[in-house]
Amino acid sequence: MSQDNELRRLEQFVEKLLARFNDLRAEKAQLEELLAAREAEIADLRASLAAREEERSEISDRVGRIVEQIEEWEAGLAGVGADVAEDDDPAATEEPPTKPAAAAAEPRVEEEGRVQHNLFSLGAASR
């Protein structure tokens, strides 16, 4: 009888052990699926980040070219202004040129004492 009880206890222990093993195997499969999904998400995020960095670099290059064009334009204006003496300035004796319709229609927003101007109207306003 004692051997019979021992065998039943051993059978129950093995059954519990196998049930726990199957539970762990199922949990491992779920974790592997989760890991694969996370790795795919990380790959997507890395690709997105690379695309954003490339886009940022392109925008930076474009802005740099625009700044260079503006600097060249300003240098050209400085060269033109240096050629004309202040006493011989025809703009001083003539009426100031009228603004084109598009420039007259541009909005000026006053906010906290500041005025927003068009980039090209700033040079004309300082003359």
Most confident of 49-53, 88-92, 94-98, 113-117: 49-53
How much is the average pLDDT of 68-82?
85
Give the DSSP letter string of the chain: -HHHHHHHHHHHHHHHHHHHHHHHHHHHHHHHHHHHHHHHHHHHHHHHHHHHHHHHHHHHHHHHHHHHHHHHHHHHHHHHHHHS-STT-HHHHSPPPPPPHHHHTS---EETTEE---HHHHHHHT-
pLDDT at 104: 47
pLDDT at 114: 54
How much is the average pLDDT of 3-27?
96
pTM for the full model?
Answer: 0.46
State how many domains the chain has. Answer: 1
Residue 23 has pLDDT above 60, yes or no: yes
Boundaries of domain holding 28:
2-125
